[in-house]
Amino acid sequence: MQAFDLIVIGSGPAGRRAAVQAAKLKKSVLVIEKGRRVGGVCVHTGTIPSKTLRETVLNLSGWRERGFYGRAHRNKQTITADDLRRRLAMTLDHEVEVLEHQFARNGVSWVHGAARFIDPLHVEVATDTGLQRFTAPRFIIAVGTEPHRPAHIPFDGEAILDPDEILELKRLPRSLAIIGGGVIGMEYATIFSALDVKVTVIDPAERLLPFIDRELVDEFIHDLRDRGMSLRLESKVKRVTRQGDACLIELEDMREIWSEMVLFAAGRRGATDSLELENAGLSADERGKITVDGNTFRTKQPHIHAVGDVIGFPSLASTSMEQGRIAACHAFDAPAQAPPEFFPYGIYSVPEMSIIGMTEEQVRQKAIPYECGIARFRETARGQIMGLNSGFMKMIFAQETRRLLGVHIVGEGATELIHIGQAVLNLGGTLDYFVENTFNYPTLAEAYKIAALDAWNRMPRRQPSVAVHDDAMAALERFAKAARG
C-alpha cells in the first residue's frame, strides 16, 4: 500500500490546483481520476468543450459578421457535426497535454480509476490492472458533478440527451427543445440558434437567470426572440416521448411541443455516489453535494476537504481553482488568503454575459443611494467597426462615496471586459477612476468611460469626491452627451 501526504480525488480545476499547490509546499501528492485522461468534467464534458463548441460555431457560421452581411451570411454553407467535433478533439488534446506536463513538472503522481473510501484514512481504486489501495493523512474531494437524469426522462443518447451526450452528436438537428433555462441550457440554446437551428427553451421559472441583473436579462431575451427562439417560461414538463423521427414534449398546462431532438439540462448532481462517503464518516445531500466550512473547505472530518462543483454554488471553474488552492494551504497549515468578496461570473451564451458585484435589485434591497450609467456597444467606434447592433454595459455607483458597486455586461467580449471592473471594484475604486483615465481607442473597453460619464451626469453635485473645475465639468457633460448620442 502506497502512502502520500495528500490524496486528491478528481483532476478538474479544483483538484489539479489543490494538487499543484500541495506539491509546491513540498508534499507528496496522488491524484485519482476515474476518467481515462486528466482534466475532469471541465476539460472533457463541461467548460472547455462547450466553449470550444461555441467558438467553432461562431467562426463557421460567420455569426460575428452578420451585422455587416446580413442574417443569411455564413463562412461555411454546410456545417456538420463532424466539423464541430474536429476542433473539439484538437482543443481537448492540447489541454490534456498541458495538464499532464504540469503534473510531471511538479512531481504530482496520478492514477486512473474509480476511488472509494475504505475508512477515513484509506481509499481503494479500481484500476485497469486491478484494485489498488492508498493511504494519506489528508484528502481533498474534487469529483465535480454529473448531469441530473430524472427517471421520467427517457434518455436514449440519440434524440433525448443530457449535456454530456450533446457533445457527441452525430448529426445536427433541424429543431431542438431544451428543458432547463439555467446557465448550461441557455449556453447550448444560443449556440444552436447561431447555427440556425430552431430552438425552444422550456423552464418552470417565471424569469430566466434570476441572479443576473434584470435589465441585462431583458436585453438578452429581446435578442433571443428577435432571432426566432421560442421561450416557454412557467411551464413544467409532464412527459417526454420519442415518436418516430421526432420527440413530443407534453407540458402540464396541456400544451405540446414537437422537436427533432431534446436536451435535458435542468441541473447537475455531485458525482459522489461511488465514493462510499459513509466509510469516511461523511455524507452528501440529495443532490450529491458535500457540506463544507466556507472559509477552509473542511468537511465535518477535519482532515478531509471538499472543493469545486461538488460543494455547490458558485460552481465555476475559476472559483473552483481558488478553492482548491486555499484548501491545500489549510490542509498543511500554510498561509492562505481568502479570495475577494466579489468574483466575476461569465455566461458563454451568444451573446455573452458577465457580471461582478451587486445587481440593481440588490442595491435597492440594501437601501443604498445609487446611480447607474449605461453604454451601448454600438456607441463605440470599435462596436461600429465590428458591426455590433446590440450589447451594453451597465455600471452601478454609490451616490455618497461614488464607489463602484457592480458591473453588468451583455454582448461581444463581455467575459473579457469584466476584469477591468473587477479590479476597480475589489480595490475600492470610484467613478472618478473611469472618468479621469484614458482607454485605448478604438476598443470596447471605452464603454467603461462612456457608462461612467453617463452615471456622472446623473450624480448629485452636492459633495463631489474631488474638486473639479466648472469648465472641466461642463466639458465632461458635453462629452457624455455626445457619447450617448
**pLDDT tens figures, 366-392:** 999 999 999 999 999 999 999 999 999
Residues 356 and 238 in one domain: no
Residues 133 and 23 in one domain: yes
Residues 21 and 141 in one domain: yes
Residue at 198 is within a domain: yes
Give the count of domains, the chain: 3
Residue at 185 is within a domain: yes
Residues 82 and 128 in one domain: yes
> Is 63's pLDDT higher than 70?
yes
The edge-to-edge listing of strands for the beta sheet with 175-179 is 160-161, 261-264, 175-179, 198-203, 230-233
Residue at 231 is within a domain: yes
Domain that holds residue 256: 160-266
Residues 10 and 139 in one domain: yes
Residues 479 and 360 in one domain: yes
Mean pLDDT within 270-285: 97
SS3 14: helix
Strands 345-347 and 230-233: unpaired
Confidence of residue 14 (pLDDT cuts 50, 70, 90): very high
CATH number of the CATH domain containing 411: 3.30.390.30
Residue at 104 is within a domain: yes
Instruction: In whole angstroms, give the CA distance from residue 209 to residue 211.
Output: 6
**Does residue 263 contact residue 163 with C-beta atoms inside 8 Å?**
yes
Residue at 152 is within a domain: no
Strands 304-306 and 139-141: parallel
**According to the model, what pLDDT value does residue 436 have?**
95
Per-chain mean pLDDT for the chain:
93
Residue at 340 is within a domain: no
**Does residue 73 contact residue 62 with C-beta atoms inside 8 Å?**
yes
Confidence of residue 470 (pLDDT cuts 50, 70, 90): very low
Mean pLDDT within 158-168: 95
Share of the chain above pLDDT 70, in %: 95
Residue at 336 is within a domain: no
One-letter identity of residue 169: L
**According to the model, what pLDDT value does residue 483 have?**
45
Q: How far is CA 215 from CA 85, 222, 230, 484, in A?
A: 35, 11, 20, 18
> Is 467's pLDDT higher than 60?
no
Confidence of residue 472 (pLDDT cuts 50, 70, 90): very low
> Is 237's pLDDT higher than 80?
yes
* One-character DSSP codes across 364-399: HHTT--EEEEEEEGGGSHHHHHHT--S-EEEEEEET
**Placement of cell 486491478 in the chain:** 130
Mean pLDDT within 213-238: 96
Instruction: In whole angstroms, give the CA distance from residue 131 to residue 161.
Output: 33
DSSP 144: -
Strand partners, 140: 8, 305
Residues 293 and 178 in one domain: no
pLDDT digits 0-9 by tens, 286-337: 999 999 998 899 999 999 999 999 999 999 999 999 999 999 999 999 999 8
Residues 218 and 288 in one domain: no
CATH number of the CATH domain containing 236: 3.50.50.60
Residues 195 and 235 in one domain: yes
pLDDT digits 0-9 by tens, 397-418: 999 999 999 999 999 999 999 9
> Is 8's pLDDT higher than 70?
yes
Residue at 153 is within a domain: no
Residues 286 and 231 in one domain: no
Residues 100 and 197 in one domain: no
Residues 173 and 206 in one domain: yes
